[in-house]
Structure 1
Amino acid sequence: MTATVHPVDERLPAPRLLTLGLQHVLVMYAGAVAVPLIIGRALKLSPEQVSALINADLFACGVATLIQSLGLPGIGIRLPVMMGVTFASVGPMLAMANDPSLGLLGIYGAVIVAGVFGLLVAPFVSRLLRFFPPVVTGTIILVIGISLMRVGINWAGGGLPTLKAMAERMVNDAPVKELGDFANPGYGQPGGLALALFVLVVILCLTKWGKGFLRNVAVLIGIVVGGAIASLAGLMNFDKVAAAPWFDVVLPFAFGTPSFDLVSSLTMCLVMIVVMIESTGMFLALGEITGKSVDRAALTKGLRADGLGTLIGGIFNTFPYTSFSQNVGLVGVTGVRSRFVTAAGGAIMIALGLVPKLAALVEAVPQVVLGGAGIVMFGMVAATGVRILSQVDFKSRPNNQFVVAISVGFGMIPLVAPNFFKQLPHGLHPLLESGILLAALVAILLNLFFNGLGKAEEAEAEAAAGAAASEHV
């Protein structure tokens, strides 16, 4: 009798893997290259050096994704995870970039220290898993989805302006939390909104009437069709594709030997803690979507991969890495739970890093096209949070309503009032500027206040038993 293979471990044919992997790459690409663009411009690097940063970033993204999806001994959660540079690190790195004694090599030294720190503390962070019953987990995932929805909506509105404008705004310390915060002069044009809506409609139609593989690649087809229309309308620029070289090599320490500063290293370690708590929410969301239980051991392996990915980033001239929440929604939309799909996506990212002409082609896809897809995917993340909260006992434990309500409120602060914590010490900003982290901390504390740890564990066991019973009805 052959043992049943869990969908997460299902090995799909190579053509399907590559197609589904490309779909994941298109979803995350804009977010993956944003940080090296911003830091490169802030440091006033030459166009060639900025291109080298982007290539290194794509290469390291791919390597970190392969480690997270396929796993190494004791490292990697082995779920469908795509890795990318965390936006939580931008503020501290810009401060380092503006310090003449640090610069890019000082940033890399701090990133390397943070990577080693992440590897060492992963087992301790994973012990927090018992503080994440459904009322906490569902709230965090709901906030993740809501936070991402703003990015998708702004993509649909017009996306990003010129790279120069992006870098200037970051250097001038303007309040920027996500990609969608950058003002675009062409934002909200009727043609762009119509194109985003068309992509959304294509995806929904394929999801409803498509069968099998066609339904699985609904997002990719929507993006391709939208890109074709954008190209015919003259909205896609292929100049960068023509100018980009066919092949480039990503070498470690290409910009020189990293320098190490105590304060900068401690700051980046603080960023690493933020990243690991956010990653915990992502992993629990993926566990719910894929039906694969995430226990303490699995969480430790996943967090170690975040640390190792960050260490690799510092060595290969790039920045701290985390599990990309954009792709969690894609898993929910497609229903394809195989971790080998994201591994294929990682291989594609490595190829993009080594073949800049391909990367330039992917970059040519307009943001409005991605916006139509983003609204679907990011909404699915929020819907997953709602589904988890539906398992929570609000009747006999009415105080759970306060846990959800107040935690979501705190999670919205960085989104709706970016300057809310402006007067507080600058060193606290990495903690206070993450809505996901704020929601997580408040949800954990309120759950302990109202339910206590023992009752929280009891509630989680009851919810799990109820879910298991419903599956057998």
Structure 2
Amino acid sequence: MKAESATHDVDARLPAWQLALFGLQHVLSMAASPVTAVFLMSRMLSLPAEMTVHLIGATFFVCGAGTILQSLGAGPVGARLPFVMVPGGAPAMLFAVIAMQTDLRTAAGAAILTSLFYWIVLPVFARCLRFFPRVVVGAMLLLVSVSLIRIYAGIVVGQPGTPGFARPEALGLALLTIVATLAVARLFKGTLGRLAVLLGLVIGTFAAWAMGSMSLSGLWSGPLFTWPMLLPFGMPRFDVLAALPMLIFSVISMAEATGQTVAVGEITGRKIDVRRDVPRTIRGDALASLIGSLLGTSLIITSAENIGVVQTTRVRSRYVTATAGVMLMLIALFVPLGRLAYAIPAPVVGGTALIVFAMIGVMGINLLGKVDLQARGNQYTLAAALVMGLLPILVPNVYAALPGSLQIVMGNGMAAGTLTAIIVNLIFGAWRLAPVEKVQST
């Protein structure tokens, strides 16, 4: 019998043209994340346009390098699973807040400290992995799905009270993109069927261009090539107290990486040894974040949206995501590609994201379907997780009166729901249940 690593779909080496197409699908499904994170941060800090363009390129570059690292691995670093890296929305906002309270050099120092903090906390966190059984991970994925859908629905229609809120054209483009994705998935099989997400986005993009909602006029303006700049804000300043919110988030990020690693194992059929594979994923996040922090970005973490792409397309090869990583680095270096990704209208990107994020919820439901929900402990664990997780998602700023340190955790639906699930599961005797090592495909 051949070794699993030589025969498993995760290790399949597809033809070059398939790697390119499937990799492009991953790139386009996440391209909005680097652009959105940098632009939001740039507007909060009033950064000049030149610095904003530089940070977008640096973010794409680090996302690509991190994606290659997670997909191919290097010793004990990298999951060797089909992961794509993105700049986390929460750490990007924390970076901006720290910069507003202090300065950019201190924010850069906070990102570096947090990247190193991963390595310090990981041995302790690894001993706690038994507290992530299926009911906890399933609830986490469900909350991640709902949270991301809410965020990207706002990207599609805008925010209440702002000009152009809920424009019919925006809703129409998003719905067209979703319908096109479903139609391709239903009508085609084989390679075309697996490219449903990409083709749906392409159809939506062409529709937006035909409607005059997409302009390519500035595609070739300015420089064609750029390189990431080391320490663009100057020599970092290290302030542990200023970095505290980001340090707290790193523990939340490790919990999320645990759920994502287990989820990828489920959907790819790869057996996951969480004591080996989860630390590899977290080390990959830590190293990518360290590289990014030296180039001016915030934390770079594994991408939930691309797990949805794997679930939707059933293309499981880690060499596809490694190819996506190469493409991301090329986008970073060749400026017009970045401008093209930025030119795709938000409703089209949002429509693609909505269906991909919904698939993450499907993964959570699939995991919960394997849980004995007749058991009282599991019932109350899931119910409590949904209450505490959905409350800040459905009622934003519900914890606005709490201290800032508590808001970081309680105001994050995924974090609040996951911590609640762990605590309630312990109260009902989690130590007598099967450890998380059992949460793997057969």
- Provide closer, same or farther for how the CA distance between residues 365 and 145 of structure 1 changes in structure 2, counting only shifts above 3 A: same
Letter in 1 for 2:151: V
**1:22 and 2:24 equivalent?**
yes
- Provide closer, same or farther for how the CA distance between residues 200 and 2 of structure 1 changes in structure 2, counting only shifts above 3 A: same
- The residue correspondences of 1:166-205 to structure 2 (distance < 5 A) are 185-205=163-183
The offset of 1:58, in angstroms, is 1.0
Separation of aligned partners in 2, 1:91 and 1:198? 31
1:217 equivalent in structure 2: 195
CA contact (8 A) 2:131 2:430 kept: no
1:176 equivalent in structure 2: none
Separation of aligned partners in 2, 1:38 and 1:352? 20
The offset of 1:11, in angstroms, is 1.2
CA contact (8 A) 1:152 1:378 kept: no
More off after superposition, 382-391 vs 184-193: 184-193
| TM-score, normalisation: structure 2 | 0.94
**1:411 and 2:389 equivalent?**
yes
SS at match of 1:241: coil
| Deviations 1:385-417 (CA, angstroms, capped at 9, x unpaired) | 11111111123x133212111201111122112
1:43 equivalent in structure 2: 45
SS at match of 2:220: helix
SS at match of 2:31: helix
SS at match of 1:98: helix
2:297 equivalent in structure 1: 318
1:369 equivalent in structure 2: 348
Letter in 2 for 1:150: R
CA contact (8 A) 2:95 2:111 kept: no
Letter in 1 for 2:297: T
1:300 equivalent in structure 2: 279
- The residue correspondences of 1:208-287 to structure 2 (distance < 5 A) are 208-287=186-265
| TM-score, normalisation: structure 1 | 0.88
The offset of 1:91, in angstroms, is 4.1
User: Which of 341, 351, 376 is 2:330 aligned to?
Assistant: 351
- Provide closer, same or farther for how the CA distance between residues 240 and 105 of structure 1 changes in structure 2, counting only shifts above 3 A: farther
More off after superposition, 360-369 vs 254-263: 254-263
Separation of aligned partners in 2, 1:316 and 1:184? 34
**1:441 and 2:419 equivalent?**
yes
The offset of 1:184, in angstroms, is 5.0
Separation of aligned partners in 2, 1:137 and 1:248? 41
CA contact (8 A) 2:139 2:368 kept: yes
Separation of aligned partners in 2, 1:184 and 1:18? 39
What percentage of aligned pairs have identical amino acids? 35
2:129 equivalent in structure 1: 129
- The residue correspondences of 1:458-473 to structure 2 (distance < 5 A) are 468=442
Letter in 2 for 1:153: A
| Deviations 1:88-132 (CA, angstroms, capped at 9, x unpaired) | 224432332223xx3111111111111111123223222222111
**1:94 and 2:96 equivalent?**
yes
SS at match of 2:301: strand
The offset of 1:48, in angstroms, is 0.6
When the two chains are superposed, the root-mean-square deviation of aligned CA atoms in Å is 2.0
Separation of aligned partners in 1, 2:427 and 2:242? 35
| Deviations 1:187-220 (CA, angstroms, capped at 9, x unpaired) | 3222332222222222112212212110111110
2:310 equivalent in structure 1: 331
In structure 1, the gaps of 5 or more residues are: 160-180, 469-473
SS at match of 1:255: coil
- Paired positions, count: 439
More off after superposition, 331-340 vs 138-147: 138-147
CA contact (8 A) 1:42 1:97 kept: no
CA contact (8 A) 1:333 1:376 kept: no
| Deviations 1:8-47 (CA, angstroms, capped at 9, x unpaired) | 1111112211211111111111122222222223332211
Letter in 2 for 1:30: A
Separation of aligned partners in 1, 2:47 and 2:366? 46
Letter in 2 for 1:273: V
Separation of aligned partners in 2, 1:267 and 1:435? 16
The offset of 1:338, in angstroms, is 0.9
SS at match of 1:94: helix
CA contact (8 A) 1:115 1:308 kept: yes
User: Which of 407, 416, 424 is 1:429 aligned to?
Assistant: 407
